[in-house]
Structure 1
Amino acid sequence: MTYIPLELSDLVLAALLLIANGVVSIWFRLGLERSLAIAAVRMVLQLGVVALALRTIFALNSPLWTVALALVMTAAAAFEIVSRQERRIQGPVAFALGAGAPFFAGLVATLFATTIVIGPDPWYAPRYVLPLFGMMLGNALSGTSLVLDTVTSAAVRDRVAIEARIALGASRFEALDAILRRALTTGLTPIVTAMATTGIVALPGMMTGQILAGVDPVSAAKYQVMIMFLIAGSTGMAVVAAGVGAVLLITDERHRLRLDRLS
């Protein structure tokens, strides 16, 4: 089996299904046709720019350019995380947490994969590092966003109960224990569901792409299993870091609930 290249006309044909979604939105008066069009255009432009950037970076094979693109990806992820929060933490510290949690988790998982599991030569080859880091970062982004939103929303909703526990002598982590556990569960649920349904309900994008490119299905499945394990690990690290960080940010060293720090 050989790789079948796609032409521009093939992409136009595939876009007909997206147009069908727009028709559904208009027919049922959902008001999503504009959002669908903007998201589609944004996706195409972003993928086009990233593809050209990756082609250049792959050719250069430079650790400096690899790190630079990884930092740009992290900054974009942090912006998405902060913008998704209904009650966001004020100040640059929120952006730092939104960037730090997924970046640290993605970095650890990517370095583990390239230095121990896969072992490419060199280990920092951008062809391996950037795609892996992107997958780790994207999934950690979702988990981090869910955790932060759950912690801040629940803290506002359960303010009286939290302050009552603190008044009775509980520390900030004891007072927010139930909320933190609920937030961690919420952040980890998507990856748990994805692992449980992978292979039976759906073939993941990476495995499908490799099969379409001519890779043996068994080899593609091995890579997919590795990726799912890495994603689960990185998401877990990001979720815990974000949850603990959120608790620290909405309280102070005197174990007082500081909802004034939320916008």
Structure 2
Amino acid sequence: MSTDNMQIVLTYADIALASSLIIIVLLVSWFLHLRLTKTLVIAALRTVIQLSFIGLILAWIFAREQWYEVLIILTIMTLIAGSAAKNRVKRTYKGLLVDTLIAVSTSAVLVTVIAISLILQVQPWYTPQFIIPILGLILGNSLTAISLTSNQLIENLHGQQGRIEMMLSLSAKPFEAVHEQIRAAIINGMTPTLNSMLVVGIVSLPGMMTGQILAGADPTQAVRYQIVTMFLICVSSTLGCTISALLIYRRFFNKKQQFVLP
């Protein structure tokens, strides 16, 4: 086999060797009294179990290519992402789960449809090899951005209640009274994505690109795929943060446009 087409196949022994490296992390936790031993062990076990389980499911889905099975997987992924985004918010309110689900699903599904139908032009649209990984990438980054936005906005609205009510008393409209809080929250949610875009290819090689290169793909094609995914993630995160912020903002005002804590 030529080196140009070299593809390294990982064995269970390789996985076991990589897993043994976690011992280093456990030693650091023990030496510095970080009290993370239990969390690290659980996280490592869940990583192996969850990825192995999803690997079996994906292999089965890829072999069958039935649109309704793919749709079920996509729906489950979206619901879990929305729930995860909600669980990362410290100060919750009734209806937060609905808001996060709307923000996650709307942004991720819209961008995924654009990617599949217009950019990649996948036929049929439910080809699992493409749509599942793309939605997974977008959901993973979107839920982080949305949770950061939601968390900061809710905290700011609670912490700056007096300032907001003062602006309302000075004839400011509800959106004007909370515009700075919304702006700061969206910026906070977008920061990880923007930071990644600023250093990608210089400081870091993203996971998707690295995986393709290790699998023997043409580096130029891997780069093109990564550029596309970075832009998709940026758009989805921006839409998700904006939708989430607007939904949360509406929860803090009643029909009389009075500021209330939900």
- Could you state the TM-score of these two structures normalised by the residue count of structure 2? 0.95
Partner of 1:140: 142
Q: Unaligned regions of 5+ residues in structure 2, if any? A: none
Of residues 126-135 and 16-25 in structure 1, the stretch that sits farther from structure 2 once superposed is 16-25
Q: Provide the identity percentage.
A: 32
Question: Which of 242, 247, 250 lines up with 2:249 in the alignment?
Answer: 247
> 1:102 aligns to what?
104
User: Deviation of residue 16 (structure 1)?
Assistant: 2.4
Distance apart, 1:191 and its partner CA: 0.7
Secondary structure of 1:187's match?
helix
Q: Report the equivalent of 2:204.
A: 202
What is aligned with 1:67? 71
- Which aligned runs of 4 or more in structure 1 are off by greater than 6 angstroms? none
Decide whether the 8 Å contact of 1:207 with 1:220 is kept in 2: yes
RMSD across aligned C-alpha pairs, in angstroms? 1.1
User: 1:119 Cα deviation (Å)?
Assistant: 1.1
TM-score where L is the length of structure 1: 0.95
Amino acid at match of 1:133: L
* Equivalence map 1:70-219=2 (5 Å): 70-90=74-94, 93-219=95-221
Q: Which whole-Å CA distance do the structure 2 matches of 1:103 and 1:51 have between them? A: 23
Aligned residue for 1:8? 12
**8 Å contact from structure 1 (residues 87, 149) kept in 2:** yes
Instruction: Give the residue type in structure 2 aligned to 1:142.
Output: T
CA–CA separation in structure 2 for the residues paired with 1:188 and 1:31 = 31
Aligned residue type for 1:77: A
The amino acid that maps onto 1:37 is V
Q: Using the alignment, how far apart are the partners of 2:82 and 2:50 within structure 1?
A: 17
Rounded Cα–Cα distance in structure 2 between residues aligned with 1:166 and 1:65? 50
Aligned-partner Cα distance in 2 for 1:8–1:132 = 27
Q: Check the 8 A contact 1:84/1:145 in 2, yes or no.
A: yes
Distance in 2 of aligned mates of 1:14 and 1:86: 34
Deviation per CA, 1:141-186: give whole Å up to 9, x if none: 0110011001100111111101111122222211101000000111
What pairs up with 1:52-63 in 2 under 5 angstroms? 52-63=56-67
Which of 50, 73, 77 is the aligned partner of 1:46? 50
